[in-house]
Structures are given as C-alpha cells and as structure tokens.
Amino acid sequence: MTIISGSFTGIVEALRNRGFLLLAEVKWIEQPCKCAGRWTCKVSV
C-alpha cells in the first residue's frame, strides 16, 4: 500500500486508520521520505 500525505503526521494518521498503532509494527517496503513537497511511503499490509 502506498501512502501519500502533505506531512509526516498525515502518514502516521493514515497508518493508525489502517490499524497500525505503533510505527514499530509497520512492515516498511519503502520508508517515509519527503519528495516534491509530499511525504510518501510504502508498507506491506
């Protein structure tokens, strides 16, 4: 799953909405990074 947000906080909120309560529980495919003014990441669901 790819998450795109305007802030890192937005990524955290999107992950919480998907059931991830702690960032340590997330299986990252691509860690959060800021590119072209947007935060993006990829996680395994």
Read off the pLDDT of residues 15-37 as tens digits, 9 standing for 90 and up: 999 999 998 899 999 999 999 99
Do 22 and 28 form a contact (C-beta atoms < 8 A)?
no
What is the residue whose two structure tokens read 């998450």?
3
d(CA 7, CA 45): 21
What is the residue whose two structure tokens read 């072209």?
36
d(CA 9, CA 3): 12
Tokens of 28: 């990252």
Could you give the number of structural domains in the chain? 1
pTM: 0.82
Provide the 3-class DSSP secondary structure of residue 13: helix
pLDDT at 45 over 90: no
State which residues form the domain around 38: 2-44
